[in-house]
């Protein structure tokens, strides 16, 4: 195999037996590869552009789990990384099957999520329109079961195909094998650090079943003067809402929701409501209530807070931001302070949604 790379001083070239061409960068900055815009180096970064390159990754990793990067929109870098970083750039969308109701598409993991949503809408295929504008790549979608405005990606996933880098073979996970939960799946648990997701098979709807249950989506459709919603208009409504309250990582470094919305017991919810009658809630499993972490954080006084280069977004308290030049460790410290104050005031332990690297 032949490991090759373009010229440049952050690049290493290796030669081996079979003929596979790979780009390997050494001591390169990860700043362009994470939406927080944290500037830390990686010892080695491989750009995975062809599935033929999967086998050599096992050799390169030298027994230590490689870290897989998609859009870098759900990570916080806190220290220099010694492990091999694999930037998943596998591309392609293939039509697998269709009938009168559905179309099955196999989408390679390195496709940009929002571009895929736009592709589906252009084909008039429904199911993922509420997930428009979520940053990141297709391969990351099943890992944290991305969700927004009443829809989770698990509702459209038929199968996830992944490469087990140690066993050197492909594994297939049907929907039920993925053990999806709220921002959760087998890929964050039992299969963590073992797999490189290569593609996701989606079952999309030709006969649409729109979800406009979320109040903000309904209101936005009214503002837009839409009387009969379509996959396109729902996506446009979602995009308008997201643009109005979530910062664009291209202009302000962030990783979306930094914490998950916590689930508490109905009993704890009732006693909190006695002091905070305006506490919002979402339905959860029996005897449980999910509450918005953004409300808890705002009510601890953090919304719009700024400390040097780090802060809490002024329109959505669940989003931590890098005003420019922030260190990952400073963002982590801020998240610690927020966790402590929510615990003290509400006796609720928040869990980070963002992966700490």
| Residue 265: strand, helix, or coil | strand
Rounded to the nearest whole angstrom, what is the least distance from the CB of residue 118 to ligand EPU in the complex?
18
Name which of 57 and 221 has its Cβ closer to ligand EPU: 221
Q: Is 142 in the site for ligand EPU (CB under 6 A)?
A: no
Q: Is 321 in the site for ligand EPU (CB under 6 A)?
A: no
Rounded to whole angstroms, the Cα distance separating 151 from 54 reads: 32
Structure tokens at 214: 């979320």
Rounded to the nearest whole angstrom, what is the least distance from the CB of residue 151 to ligand EPU in the complex?
8
Q: Is 25 in the site for ligand EPU (CB under 6 A)?
A: no
Among 47, 87, 303, 327, binds ligand EPU (CB under 6 A): 303
Positions annotated as catalytic residues are 183, 257, 353
Q: Which residues contact 64 (CB under 8 A, 6 or more apart)?
A: 83, 84
Q: Is 180 in the site for ligand EPU (CB under 6 A)?
A: no
Binding mask 261-290 for ligand EPU (x = CB under 6 A): x------------------x----------
Rounded to the nearest whole angstrom, what is the least distance from the CB of residue 343 to ligand EPU in the complex?
18
Name which of 38 and 296 has its Cβ closer to ligand EPU: 296
Name which of 174 and 337 has its Cβ closer to ligand EPU: 337
Q: Which residues contact 69 (CB under 8 A, 6 or more apart)?
A: 33, 34, 75, 85, 86, 87, 88
Nearest to 297 by CA among 284, 283, 311: 311
SS (H, E, C) 88-141: ECCCCEEEEEECCCEEEEEEECCCEHHHHHHHHHHCCCECCHHHCCCCCEHHHC
Structure tokens at 177: 């094998």
Q: Is 253 in the site for ligand EPU (CB under 6 A)?
A: no
Q: Is 70 in the site for ligand EPU (CB under 6 A)?
A: no
Rounded to the nearest whole angstrom, what is the least distance from the CB of residue 83 to ligand EPU in the complex?
25
Contact 95, 103 (CB under 8 A): yes
Structure tokens at 230: 């379509």
Among 77, 116, 353, 357, binds ligand EPU (CB under 6 A): 353
How many residues line the site for ligand EPU (CB under 6 A)?
16
Name which of 28 and 237 has its Cβ closer to ligand EPU: 237
Structure tokens at 250: 């291209």
Rounded to whole angstroms, the Cα distance separating 92 from 328 reads: 33
Residues 195-214 that bind ligand EPU (CB under 6 A): none
Q: Is 247 in the site for ligand EPU (CB under 6 A)?
A: no
Cα distances (angstroms) measured from residue 149 to each of 156, 168, 282, 286: 15, 38, 12, 21
Tally helices (H) and strands (E) across the chain: 7, 22
Rounded to the nearest whole angstrom, what is the least distance from the CB of residue 188 to ligand EPU in the complex?
14
Name which of 263 and 333 has its Cβ closer to ligand EPU: 263
Name which of 220 and 257 has its Cβ closer to ligand EPU: 257
Cα distances (angstroms) measured from residue 238 to each of 6, 85, 216, 341: 40, 33, 9, 32
Rounded to the nearest whole angstrom, what is the least distance from the CB of residue 303 to ligand EPU in the complex?
5
Rounded to whole angstroms, the Cα distance separating 316 from 136 reads: 19
Among 69, 132, 317, 326, binds ligand EPU (CB under 6 A): 317
Among 298, 333, 341, 343, binds ligand EPU (CB under 6 A): 298
Name which of 56 and 136 has its Cβ closer to ligand EPU: 136
Q: Is 257 in the site for ligand EPU (CB under 6 A)?
A: yes
Residues binding ligand EPU (CB under 6 A): 148-149, 256-257, 260-261, 280, 292, 294-295, 298, 303, 316-318, 353
């Amino acid at each position: 195999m032949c490991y090759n790379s373009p010229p440049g001083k952050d690049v290493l070239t290796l030669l081996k037996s079979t003929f596979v061409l790979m780009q390997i960068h050494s001591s390169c900055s990860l700043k362009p590869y994470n939406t927080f815009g944290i500037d830390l180096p990686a010892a080695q970064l491989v750009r995975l552009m062809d599935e033929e390159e999967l086998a050599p990754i096992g050799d390169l990793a030298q027994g230590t789990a490689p870290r897989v990067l998609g859009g870098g929109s759900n990570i916080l870098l806190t220290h220099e990384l010694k492990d091999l970083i694999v930037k998943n750039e596998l591309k392609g969308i293939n039509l697998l099957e269709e009938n009168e109701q559905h179309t099955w598409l196999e989408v390679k993991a390195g496709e940009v999520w929002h571009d895929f949503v736009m592709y589906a809408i252009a084909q008039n295929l429904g199911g993922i329109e509420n997930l428009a504008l979520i940053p990141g790549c297709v391969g990351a979608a099943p890992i944290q079961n991305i969700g927004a405005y009443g829809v989770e990606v698990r509702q459209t996933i038929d199968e996830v195909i992944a490469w087990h880098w140690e066993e050197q073979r492909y594994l297939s996970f049907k929907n039920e094998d993925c053990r999806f939960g709220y921002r959760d799946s087998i890929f964050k648990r039992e299969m963590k650090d073992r797999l490189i997701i290569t593609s996701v098979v989606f079952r999309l709807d030709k006969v649409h079943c729109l979800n406009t249950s979320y109040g903000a989506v309904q209101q936005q459709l009214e503002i837009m003067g839409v009387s009969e919603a379509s996959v396109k208009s729902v996506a446009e409504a979602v995009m308008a809402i997201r643009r109005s309250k979530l910062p664009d990582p291209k202009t302000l470094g962030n990783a979306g929701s930094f914490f998950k919305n916590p689930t508490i017991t109905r009993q704890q919810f009732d006693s909190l409501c006695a002091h905070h009658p305006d506490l919002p809630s979402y339905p959860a499993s029996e005897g449980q209530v999910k509450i918005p972490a953004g409300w808890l954080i705002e009510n601890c006084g953090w919304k719009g807070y700024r400390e040097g280069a780090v802060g809490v977004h002024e329109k959505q308290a669940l989003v931590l931001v890098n005003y420019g030049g922030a260190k990952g460790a400073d963002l982590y410290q801020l998240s610690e302070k927020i966790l402590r104050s929510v615990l003290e005031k509400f006796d609720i332990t928040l869990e980070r949604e963002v992966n700490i690297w």
